A and B are shown apart, each in its own frame.
Chain A
Amino acid sequence: MRDLRFLRPVDERITLKYGAGGRAMRALIEQIFADGFGEPEGGGVGLAAMDDGAVLRIGDRWLVITTDSHVVRPRFFPGGDIGRLAVAGTVNDLAMMGATEPLALTCAAIIEEGFARDELARIWASIRQTCLEAGTTVVTGDTKVMGRGELDGLVLNTTGVAITDRFVRDNGLRPGDRLLVTGTVGDHGLAVMATRNELALEVELVSDVAPINGLVRAALAAGGDGVVVMKDPTRGGLASALAEIAGKSGVGLVIDERAVPVKDAVRAAGELLGIDPLLVANEGKAVIGVRAEVADAVLEAVRRHPLGRDAALCGVCIAERAGAVVLETGFGRRLLGEAEGELQPRIC
Chain B
Amino acid sequence: MVSVDDGVAVVDFWGVKKVVRLDVVDVPVAPGDYVLNHVGFAIRRIPAEEIGDTLALYDELLRSSDGDLLAGDVRAELDAAEDHDR
> Which A residues lie at the B interface, using CB under 8 A?
194, 200-204, 264-265, 267-269, 271-272, 347-348
Contact = CB atoms under 8 A, between A and B. Distances in A.
Interface of B: 10, 13-19, 38-40
B40 A347 contact: no
Contacts of B17: 201-203
A269 B16 contact: yes
Contacts of B39: 347-348
Contacts of B19: 200
A200 B10 CA distance: 10
A124 to B, nearest CB: 33
Contact of A265 (B14, B18, B38, B40): B14
Given A202-B16, A203-B17, 11 more contacts: A200-B18, A202-B10, A202-B17, A202-B18, A203-B15, A203-B16, A204-B15, A268-B14, A272-B13, A272-B16, A347-B39
Contacts of B14: 264-265, 267-268, 271
Contacts of B15: 203-204, 264-265, 268
A204 to B, nearest CB: 7
A194 to B, nearest CB: 8
Contacts of B38: 348
A204 B14 CA distance: 11
Closest 10 CB pairs of A and B: A268-B14, A202-B17, A203-B16, A265-B15, A268-B16, A200-B19, A269-B16, A268-B13, A348-B38, A201-B18
Contacts of A200: 18-19, 40
25 contacts: A200-B18, A200-B19, A200-B40, A201-B17, A202-B10, A202-B16, A202-B17, A203-B16, A203-B17, A204-B15, A264-B14, A265-B14, A267-B14, A268-B13, A268-B14, A268-B15, A268-B16, A269-B16, A271-B13, A271-B14, A272-B13, A272-B18, A347-B39, A348-B38, A348-B39
Which one of B10, B16, B17 has the greatest number of beta carbons of chain A within 10 Å?
B16
A201 B20 CA distance: 10
A265 B17 CA distance: 10
A280 to B, nearest CB: 15
Contacts of A268: 13-16
Contacts of A348: 38-39
Contacts of A204: 15
Contacts of B18: 200-202, 272
A269 B18 CA distance: 10
Contacts of A272: 13, 16, 18
B31 to A, nearest CB: 16
Nearest to B19: A200
B40 A201 contact: no
Nearest to B18: A201
A24 B16 CA distance: 33
A65 to B, nearest CB: 41
Nearest to B40: A200
A104 to B, nearest CB: 41
B36 to A, nearest CB: 11
Contacts of B13: 268, 271-272
A274 to B, nearest CB: 11
Contacts of A202: 10, 16-18
